[in-house]
Amino acid sequence: MPHATDDRNYRLPTSVRPARYQLTLSLDPGRRVFAGEGQVGLELAAPTGELVLHAAALDLTRAELRTADGPRAVRVVPAPASETVRLVLERPAPAGAATLELAWNGHVSDGLRGLYQAAGVAVTQFEAADARRVFPCFDEPGFKAPWALTVEAPAGLALLSNGAPERTTEAAGRQRVAFRETPPLPTYLVALACGALEARPAGAARGVPVRTWAVPEKLALTAFAQEVALEVLPRLEDYFGLPYAFGKLDQVGVPEFEAGAMENAGLVTYREAALLLDPATAALPVKKRVAEVITHELAHQWFGNWVTMQWWDDLWLNESFATWMAAKIVDGWRPEWRVWLDFDAGKAAALHLDALRSTHPVRAEVKNPEDMTESFDVITYEKGGAVLRMIEGYLGEGPFRDGIRLYMRRHAKANAVAGQLWAALAEASGQPVPELADAWIGGPGYPVVEVRREGRRVALGQRRFYSEPGVAEAGERWPVPLVLRYEDAGGVKEARHLLRGAAGELTLPGEGEVRWLVANGGSTGFYRVAYDAASAAALARHLPRLAPSERIGLIADQWALVRAGAREPADFLDLLAAFGGEEDYAVLDELVGRLAGLEARLADEPVRQRFQRFVANLVGPAFARAGWDPAPGEPDALRMRRAALLRALALVAREPAAVAEGARRLDRFLGGDAAALEPNLHDAAVAMAARAGDERRFEALRARFKVEPDPALKRRYLTGLALFEDPALAARAEALAFGDEIPLQDAASYMGALLANRTAREGFWGALRQRWDAVQQRVGGAPMLLRRVVEAVGQLPERRHLEEATAFFAAHPVPAARQAIAQTLERMRQDVALWERLGPAVARWLAAR
């Protein structure tokens, strides 16, 4: 009969729990090996004849259990299916305290998980389930315990862990560092970094030392990240009403990193592009992105590290909260950045994914490590964050914060589940939070709210929204907290209404004519809105009276309804044309994104050229007034507006004069003239120069990519190589995708750019299928990247591509990306059908203008 550990979904029994880890790890990065030894203190709730710990790719060379009645020999039985080892005792151990003595050997990982090498830096990445590749341990979040680590490594290298160094000794070219014991931590938050790293001088946030680390040649790019941490850490302490718990804070830019960052307690690791920048040359979106990522990771020091989820099905408790909290804290620090609009852009991606039949709930069932990896998506992060924002808006900022503080105090240093968060929020607010929250977190999808207005009377309805035309809804209903914003003779007003059932009705307070009505005021709700024809027309007439977030939401909702077959394409195009005088850069970003999506999918060349002329006429005069060069002291808002207009003119309309000027300015910039390109124009200039570029420019970008220290610029040059539309250069760009020149962390995004390139996509799609085994082997140690490669296939536009992709993934299943494959193919089916009906509709609309 098979043992329970032969099941890949095996969970450790709770009758044996770790009480304390005291371990020593000896690193030899040059030989890519390590050795470990030490003791794990245990609490046995009942007598037992065996212990089970996680261990993957480790060789246990010694194991002995000591209890009150003496030591016991242990027989080690690996269980590869569940990545565990059974420690079979020579005689049963009694209930009570015990100490497990262990020694083991292991290897540095070839991927970006466990302990891996990144350009001279050995670093760990343990979330979700890879601490077991370095330590035999209880590798589930419900098992929290203090960690007392000692690490041996070559002398002369920086050596960092969660705690501050307490004792350091050196002998025979080796260093031995004993780190301060941590508060109770789950295994996924334990971390080490060892290598050629240097730090800025430490700053202090209310007595907490803060240092930001990078490889020596990038140390100059750490100042902004240090400033962000020092600014936001006190703000987070104030919000939670609790001091930072982990003694010190080290932030490390890692040369290769699978995700964006990792919130290890006291030692936060980052992809370099999420931490390092030069404030003098960084575009505003780069600064905002770095600030939001840092704040997200620091919010985790409370929500996730101080109070930890019990199991991975509540991963959203960590990620949703940190996503929402990052926007809230950064907005308080830099309100002029309007980061809630960036938050809304993330919410838009979640709305798109959650309209598929293959979506999943925010709180998704997780059975094993592969399920955990697939949980790191926009549903977990952005939908969950948007739902929290919606709940805060319903409860009010004060009661919501009070509930979070209560939750933090009640579950300090321990684990919790979603229901305990809802209970704390309900207790603090006096509102039925579980009813509201469970409906949004526990099930998939969201509603479209239908609005019909006659005078001051508003009739409301809801049904589940699917992006595929003709899909029948199954009768799901949500408690929808509506914020209705409208204008009458008394000015702009707000009304709130909780729509509980399939339909509802209210009368707007006030008197006189209602000029317009927005049913998702401030765009804080996670739902679509479908207005009756008269209400939609009124909004189009009064666009300047709407908040920027509401104008963005109007465009997004109308496009979603076109995709679903619920609105005519001509009506949507009429709406876009009404934005010709738009001046807000965030709204322009949304507008340009929709225009770019239309242009990219128009297969008929004469129709595409007419559409490009329409776009040029829409935005060209505004860009001509803005010009290429900013005035002295020009605010960020105007610089960002110029950048949005240029993207529309040069990248969507492909206006020849703008493309040529952008390429000339990029050449000057690459030649050393930093003033040739305002930083916010750099991204568009690289793209336009690459699309029309020759071999000289291809080699110039390739050479600059190899030596550029600034990670944001480096990434732009790399992406630029995938955008060349000369067939010979596109083929050279394709070849790079399968070599070592492209860093592993950037492989998926580079492949995605090739698949989006009209010239490169056919050749690369064929090569990707032919060399799939090699691609899987390269990115297999970074499953999140493999998922991104699968998702990139969804950019292929034609029905034959859909048929090829469907057949290919049926013949080449990817267990670590099952969900991604299902979602990608569903999106492709919808996109192909959409553009088969939308192309002729766009042609008719253009012909009628």
Catalytic residues: 297
The answer to whether the annotation marks 497 as part of a ligand binding site is no
Give, in degrees to the nearest 5, the angle at Cα 230 between 229 and 236: 75
Sheet holding 192-195, edge to edge: 114-118, 121-125, 192-195, 158-161
Q: Is 489 exposed, middle or buried (0-12, 13-18, 19+ CB in 10 A)?
A: exposed
Whether residue 310 contacts residue 142, with contact meaning beta carbons closer than 8 Å, is answered with yes
End-to-end CA distance of the chain: 75
From the list 370, 378, 381, the residue with the least C-alpha distance to 783 is: 370
> What distance in Å separates the CA atoms of residue 119 and residue 709, rounded to the nearest whole number?
13
Distances (CA, A) of 758 to 321, 742, 789: 39, 21, 18
From the list 266, 264, 280, the residue with the least C-alpha distance to 233 is: 266
> What distance in Å separates the CA atoms of residue 693 and residue 725, rounded to the nearest whole number?
8
> What distance in Å separates the CA atoms of residue 701 and residue 662, rounded to the nearest whole number?
15
151 - beta bridge partners?
A: 25, 177
Long-range contacts formed by 529-532: CB under 8 A, 24+ apart: 529/448, 529/449, 529/451, 529/553, 529/557, 530/448, 530/449, 530/450, 530/451, 530/557, 530/561, 530/566, 530/567, 531/451, 532/451, 532/452, 532/453
In one-letter notation, the amino acid at residue 362 is: V
The answer to whether the annotation marks 542 as part of a ligand binding site is no
> What distance in Å separates the CA atoms of residue 572 and residue 558, rounded to the nearest whole number?
6
Whether residue 568 contacts residue 837, with contact meaning beta carbons closer than 8 Å, is answered with no
Length in residues, the chain: 849
> What distance in Å separates the CA atoms of residue 379 and residue 597, rounded to the nearest whole number?
22
Q: In the block, which residue shows the tokens 């949005």?
A: 644
The answer to whether the annotation marks 107 as part of a ligand binding site is no
Q: Spell out the alpha helix ranges (H) of 114-212.
A: none
Binding site for Zn(2+): residue ranges?
296, 300, 319
Binding site: residue ranges?
296, 300, 319
